[in-house]
Every structure is written in C-alpha cells, then in structure tokens.
C-alpha cells in the first residue's frame, strides 16, 4: 500500500459559511505535517443552492499548489447524503483517505500519524471527536460516547453496543480502504436518502463474514461542528423523512433501545450499569479521555477570552 499519497475527501451541502474553515484546516495539516506526502483533494457537493462550490473554487485558486490532484464534483441534482458519499468514494484515487463533512474541520494534531494503522487490512481506528460551534452541553456526551466504544473494544462487544443504540461518532473513525466501499454495503445503503452513519455501522458490525481489527487512539484529530440540523431540529422540513428512515432501519435490525418507553426500557438500565462497570474497570482510559476534553475546553475558552 502506498503510504505517501493521501486524500482529503469532503462532503458538502449548503456550507458556504463554513467550508473555508475546513479547507484551511487541511492546509494546516499539509504545511505542518505533509512533507513527502502526495496530497489529493476530492469534494462532492450535493447541488448546494448557496455559493459553496464557488467558495471552494475561489479558495483553490490561491491554494491549488498544495495538492497533486484536486477534483470538485458539483452535483446537478440533489441526490442525498448516502449517494453523495458513494460518489465521493468512487472518485478517491488513493488507498489512504479521510472523509469529512465540509462544516467540520481537522484538529491541529498530525492526521498522517494514523496512516500506520489504516494501512493494515480490515482495520477501524476510533478517535475522540472535539465539539465546536454551539456545543455548550455536548462535551460530556462526546466524552461518554468515546468511553463507551473504547470499553466495548472487540467486534463482538461493539456489535452488541451498536445494536442497542449508536455510540459511534463517525467523524472520529478512520478505516482501511475497502470497508466502506464493499458492494453489499452500497446496495443496502441505497434504501436510505439521509440516514448514513448508524445504518452503515449496523451493517458493518453485523457482517458475519467480516474480521475487523479495532484500534482506539485517545488523541483527537477531528473537530465536529454542533448545530441545529435535520437530526436534532423537529421543526426542520426534512425531520419527518429522516425519522421514517430510522423506522425502516429498526425493521432491518433489532435496535433494542427504541422499542420501549424510556422509564420501562431495560436496555436503558443496562447502559447505566455498563457505564458504572466501565468507569471502574477502564478507569485509566476514562481519565485519559477526560483529560483530552478538559484540555480542549480550556484551550477553547482561552481563545475566546
């Protein structure tokens, strides 16, 4: 596998306001850590009605020399998150890559450090995701999610966890080429228009023929923008369509957590117990994760002072 070529792959839709911040974070990675690495940039835009594509092209005019190859795919029709993802994957030319949404960004740690891990076959690398934007109450949630998946650190345990509810924060996952491109996953995913992450993890972790290696790195590499979007805003015009896709997903997989009201749901109390055991038996890792988020929170607070 060629470890000297790497693709930054972006999914965009209506992100004119944020895309330059994401692109500048890529620029930071290349300038500070990219010596000797042939960097590519591939962007797939899902027919944004704003000036996302024009903003990208304007930025590239001044920064094209950073990349050995760049490709901005401007969709002529809105095909949805799922199909846009596969269109992006189809246009990546390097075995090593990272897919990110155009309103998120890369953190200041060296992204290329992870190439050693994702060069190994059938490998999933999990890293903590740092929230930014309107994240005042998200810090504990983000830390808890990573603590849960790092405790459930085998494919069997992680499968059990993901079949209860989703704790995987996809922006923080790095994977070997071929996992997301698998043809069965593509066929299955085409049932959905918006629902990408949870549907994908249920398919991958329930695949009886897969033999995945899981690695957990407590160093953060990705910042995730927290905002009011389709999944959190019940007044969003597309919210009901997304919920209908969740209902379809529940019919395909036995996602246990949503089957009963919260107060009488045994899986809710199982997760409480699991957190208790996790905090005792995996205390060192939990402390490392808390330290990562606390340091980031202090750093962010100082920058805004």
Q: Which of 104-108, 110-114, 178-182 has the lowest mean pLDDT?
A: 178-182
pLDDT tens digits, residue range 189-239? 999 999 889 999 999 999 867 789 999 999 999 999 987 666 666 667 778
Closest by Cα among 146, 88, 89 to 282: 146
**pLDDT band at residue 304 using 50, 70 and 90 as cut-offs:** confident
Phi-psi region of 146 (alpha: psi -120 to 50; beta: other; left: phi over 0): alpha
Q: Are residues 220 and 239 in the same domain?
A: yes
Mean pLDDT computed over 131-149:
83
Residues 6+ apart with CB under 8 A from 217: 114, 117, 125, 126, 127
Residues 6+ apart with CB under 8 A from 132: 105, 223, 224, 225, 226, 300
Q: Are residues 87 and 155 in the same domain?
A: no
The last residue of one of the domains, among 106, 128, 149, is 106
By the 8 A CB rule, do 164 and 253 touch? no
pLDDT at 255 over 90: no
Q: Are residues 93 and 118 in the same domain?
A: no
Full-model pTM? 0.93
The last residue of one of the domains, among 106, 141, 159, is 106
Strand 105-106, strand 222-226: pairing: antiparallel
Closest by Cα among 142, 144, 122 to 132: 142
- The SS3 assignment for 70 reads strand
Residue 264: predicted pLDDT: 80
Angle at 192 between CA 190 and CA 198, to 5 degrees: 110
Token look-up 């990546």 returns: 92
Tokens of 26: 């890529």
Q: Are residues 85 and 157 in the same domain?
A: no
Residue 211: predicted pLDDT: 84
Residue 231: predicted pLDDT: 63
Q: Are residues 73 and 123 in the same domain?
A: no
Q: Are residues 20 and 148 in the same domain?
A: no
Token look-up 């109390």 returns: 269
Residue 207: predicted pLDDT: 82
Query: How far is Cα 305 from Cα 265, in angstroms, rounded to an integer?
Result: 43
Distance from the first to the final alpha carbon of the chain: 45
Percent of the chain predicted with pLDDT > 70: 93
C-alpha dist (Å) from residue 33 to 19, 67, 128, 218: 21, 14, 20, 19
Tell me, yes or no, whether 91 lies in a domain: yes
Tell me, yes or no, whether 268 lies in a domain: yes
Query: How far is Cα 274 from Cα 269, in angstroms, rounded to an integer?
Result: 9
Tell me, yes or no, whether 126 lies in a domain: yes
Q: Are residues 200 and 295 in the same domain?
A: yes
**pLDDT band at residue 253 using 50, 70 and 90 as cut-offs:** confident
Residue 230: predicted pLDDT: 66
pLDDT tens digits, residue range 64-95? 999 999 999 999 999 999 999 999 999 999 99
Tell me, yes or no, whether 286 lies in a domain: yes
Tell me, yes or no, whether 183 lies in a domain: no
Closest by Cα among 81, 95, 107 to 37: 95
Residue 270: predicted pLDDT: 92
Residue 193: predicted pLDDT: 92
Tell me, yes or no, whether 185 lies in a domain: no
Q: Which of 110-124, 228-242, 272-286 has the lowest mean pLDDT?
A: 228-242
Percent of the chain predicted with pLDDT > 90: 70
Which residues span the domain enclosing 243? 113-171+191-305
């Amino acid at each position: 596998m060629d470890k000297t070529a790497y693709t930054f792959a972006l999914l965009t839709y209506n992100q004119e306001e944020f895309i330059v911040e994401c692109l500048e974070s890529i620029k930071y990675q290349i300038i500070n850590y990219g010596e000797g690495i042939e960097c590519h940039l591939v962007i797939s835009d899902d027919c944004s009605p704003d000036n996302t594509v024009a903003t990208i092209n304007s930025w590239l005019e001044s920064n094209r020399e950073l990349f050995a190859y760049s490709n901005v795919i401007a969709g002529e029709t809105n095909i949805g998150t799922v199909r846009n993802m596969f269109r992006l994957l189809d246009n990546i030319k390097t075995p090593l890559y990272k897919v990110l949404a155009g309103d998120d960004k890369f953190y200041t740690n060296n992204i290329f450090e992870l190439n050693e891990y994702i060069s190994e076959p059938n490998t999933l690398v999990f890293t903590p995701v740092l929230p930014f934007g309107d994240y005042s109450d998200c810090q504990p949630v983000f830390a808890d999610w990573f603590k849960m998946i790092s405790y459930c650190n085998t494919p069997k345990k992680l499968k059990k966890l993901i079949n209860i509810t989703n704790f995987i924060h996809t922006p923080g996952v790095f994977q070997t080429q071929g996992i997301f491109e698998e043809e069965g996953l593509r066929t299955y995913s085409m049932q959905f228009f918006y629902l990408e992450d949870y549907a994908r993890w249920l398919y991958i972790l329930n695949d009886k023929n897969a033999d995945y290696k899981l690695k957990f790195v407590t160093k953060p590499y990705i910042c995730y923008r927290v905002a009011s979007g389709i999944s959190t805003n019940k007044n969003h015009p597309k919210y009901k369509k997304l919920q209908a896709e969740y209902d379809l997903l529940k019919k395909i997989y036995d996602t246990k957590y949503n089957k009963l009201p919260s107060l009488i749901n045994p899986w809710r109390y199982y997760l409480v117990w699991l957190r208790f055991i996790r905090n005792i038996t995996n205390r060192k890792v939990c402390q490392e994760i808390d330290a990562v988020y606390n340091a980031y929170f202090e750093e962010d607070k100082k920058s805004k002072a």
